[in-house]
Amino acid sequence: MEIKTTGVAGTLESSDIQVMLSKGDNGIEINLDSEVKKLYGDQIEAVIKTTLTSFGLTDAKVKAVDKGALDCVIKARTLAAAQRATKTTDKPALEVL
């Protein structure tokens, strides 16, 4: 799977997460901003990474601003951003979730 453009999903409102995906060439690099990074940072990054990997992306720059999102939200936002970035929104890859 190839990233064709920058893809974004999510908002900055409470309980949401905003995920921005752009081209990378050094594996999946995650830049996470979260109030609860100390407690859940590793978990959030792991969820993003797993979602992207099972979607088929190996290289990407990820910028995420978390506002206390649950795992299911993180997965959904990451997948939406990935499908926008790869221009595959016409075929929802729901099996990734």
Q: Which of 18, 51, 83, 86 binds another protein (CB under 8 A)?
A: 18
* Candidate segments 11-19, 38-46, 51-59, 87-95, binder of another protein by CB under 8 A: 11-19
Which residues fall within 8 angstroms of residue 71, CB to CB, at 6 or more apart?
Answer: 43, 47
Which residues fall within 8 angstroms of residue 43, CB to CB, at 6 or more apart?
Answer: 71
CA 82/CA 43 separation, integer angstroms? 19
Per CB under 8 A, contacts with another protein among 30-89 are: 33, 35, 61, 63, 65, 67
Instruction: Report, in Å, the least distance between residue 6 CB and another protein.
Output: 4
Which parts of this chain interact with another protein (CB under 8 A)? 6, 8, 11-14, 18, 20, 22, 33, 35, 61, 63, 65, 67
